[in-house]
Structure 1
Amino acid sequence: MKSSKKLRATRNQEILALTNQRRLCKIVGTLEMAEQIWDTETVKNITRVQSETNTIRKTLTLSSIECVMITMTYNRSLAIYDELSHQCHVLNTIHQSTDVDKADRLYVIPGNVTSFTERTTAKPPESYLNVRLCDDLDPTNTSGVYRITPVPGKSFDVFCDMDTGDGPWTVIQNRQSKEVDFYRNWDEFKSGFGDLHGNFWLGNDQLSVLTETPCVLRIQIHSLNGTFGYAEYSQFQVSNETDQYRLFVTGFSGNVSNAMEWNSGYMFSTRDRSNDIYERISCAEVRLSSWWHKRCTKANLNGLYESSNEKFMVYWEGFYGQDIKIQLRTTKMMLKKP
C-alpha cells in the first residue's frame, strides 16, 4: 500500500465507523485500519476533494463521536472532524468506487481541515453548551449551521446568519425557492423540516424553547420584482404545544406594513389542526398555509410558493403601504436576544 507522511503524523487518531443497518457506533481502529479498507492515497484524495467541493453541512460538535451521530442523521457516509475548531464537516458521499461492503459503514476521518475550507485562521472551540442563540457565537464566525443549547438539556442545530446587520441572527424560517413543500401537517411543523442550508421551518418545539425569554424577530422579504422589505419586532414569543404554540409579537418597526402583529395572540394552525376563529372553514386549508391564523392572515409566509392564486400564494399585505397582497419571492425569519 502507498504511504503518506501527512496521514502517518496522525496515525494514533481514531477512525470511527458506524454500521448503518444497526445504528451502532464503535471504534474500528486508527488510520492504519483505514488503510486496510482503502489504500492511503484514496483516503487522502477523499479528504481533499470531498472537503473542497461536497461539504453539505458544517456543525459545531464536542467530539468525533457526536460527529458520527450527526452524519448518521443525514444519511451520509463520510465526514471530517476538525479537532482544532470542533467542526464536523458532513460530506456528500464516500467515493464513487466504493463497493457495497464499504458503503455499509460510516467513516469519520479526524484531522485539521482548515486548509480545505475558506477559513484562514483557526478559532478556539466554542462549546455549544454555552451558546443559547447565535448571538453567543464569535461575531467573526462565518454564516452556517451551528449547534446551540437554548435551555439546559435541549440542544439542536440552527443556521446562524452572521452577515445581516445587527446580528448574529438565529434563522427560524427560510424560503428562497420551491424545492421544499411547506403545506404540511401538525407533527411536521412541530419538529421542523427542510434543509438548514436552504428552505426550512426550524420547528415549533424549537421556537417555543428559543423564545422562553422573548426575542427580537426580524422578517426579511423580497417581492417578485426584487424590492426588499423588512419588519422587525422587539418582542416575539411562541408558547408550548399545550397552548398550541400561541404567538405573541409586538414592537413593530420596518419599511413595510405591520402585518404580523395582526396575528398576535392566536394559536398555530395546520391542515390537520385548525385553531383559527372560524367555525365552518379552516384558514390553513383555505390558504394552503400553516400559520398563526386569526381570520386567516395578512402575512402568509408559509403559503404556496409561486402560486398564481392570491389566496394560496406567499404574500405580505401592505408591502407598499396599501392593503394589497404582494406576492413574495423570498422570506426569512430570524431571532436574536433583546
Structure 2
Amino acid sequence: MTELSIVPAGAGAGKTHHIQETLTQWVREGKVRPERILAVTFTEAAAGELRQRIRGALVADGNLQAALAVERAYVSTIHGLGRRLLVEHAFAAGSSPQQRLIAEDEQDLLIRRSIAENEALNELSRNLGAHGYRGSFTSDDTAEDSFRKTLLGVIALLRTLGPRGGDPAMADFVEASIRKGYRQPVGTSEALAAALQKAVGALLLAFPRSLADDAGSAAAKTAFRDNFRALKQAEQLLSSGRKDWRSWQRLRDLRQSKRGSPTPDGYDDLAGAVMAAADTLAYHPGPLEDAVSHARALVEGAQSAMADYETRKRELGVIDFGDMVTNAARIAMRPSAPLRSAQER
C-alpha cells in the first residue's frame, strides 16, 4: 500500500481512535490481514489500548477469526519498533544484536565527558557571561548549568535531524538564518562605542551623583538610582573595552523629567543624548557578530560532542532512546535495506 495520511492533532484530539477506525476498516475491506498490521504509538499504554480497540471492533462485527489474528499484529511504541529493527538487522547495519539501552545517568556522564573534552566549546565556556549565561537565584543552577542545558538542547535537536544534523554546512545555514533576520548593521563597533562613551561621560561629568536623593516619589528615586548605577557600570565597561549588550540596553530608557519629579536644568538633554547613542544597539554590528559566533560555536561544538558521544557509545556497545528511532530509520532508508527485502518476499 502506498496511501499516506497525515493527521496533525494535539493530545486528546482522538488520534488513537482515528488510527483504530482506519485499521479496522482496512481489515473489513480486505486491504490488510489483521496479523500484518504494524502500528506504533508513543506509550505502551496507548499501544495496548489500540490493539484492544481493534480487536473489540472486530468482535463486534462477529469476525472472531480476524479478532484472534490481531494478537499476532505488531502494535508497539516507536522506540520498541526501532529497537526491534536494530536487533533483527544488526549485522547488516554493522552493529551488535545485543546492544544495551544506556541508563540515563550513564548517558549524562558520557555527554558531559564529550563536552568537557571538546576543544570547539572551550573558548565559549570560558566566557559564558558575555553570551548571556547566568546562574539562577531561584535554583542552584549556575551559568555552567545553563550553558550545558542549552548545548544539550542543541544536541537533541540535531539528533532529530538524523544524518543532516552532523552536516558541516549546518553552521553556515544557522549563520545565514541569523543574518537574514537581523537588521542591516550601520557603522562600526568602535565608532558607536565611542559615541556612547562620550555621551555617558558628559552626563556623569555634569551630574556626578544620583538624582535619587532629590526625587519627589518612590518610583522616581528607584528609577534614578538604577539609572545612575547603569551609567557608572557602562562607563567602566566602555573605558575597558569590554562588551556587555545588556548595559547598552539599560541605557536606552533613562528617567527624565516628569510631573512631580523634575530634573535639574540640562539633565534631560544629556540623558537624551545617552539614550540616542544607546539606541544604536538596534543596528549595531557587535550583537550580530556575537550572535553568529555564539550560534556557530554551539552548532559546531554540539556536532563535535555528538560525534564523540556516538563513538563512546559504539565502544561500549550501548544505544539510547534517540538511537532507537534515528538508527532504525537509517536502516529502513538504505537502498538495499534487509527490511525492504523481507517485505518484498
Same fold per TM (> 0.5)?
no
**Greater helix fraction, Structure 1 or Structure 2:** 2
Tell me which structure has the larger Cα radius of gyration: 2
**Greater strand fraction, Structure 1 or Structure 2:** 1
Larger relative contact order (Cα-Cα within 8 Å, sequence gap ≥ 6) = 2
TM-score normalised by the chain length of structure 1? 0.24
TM-score normalised by the chain length of structure 2? 0.24
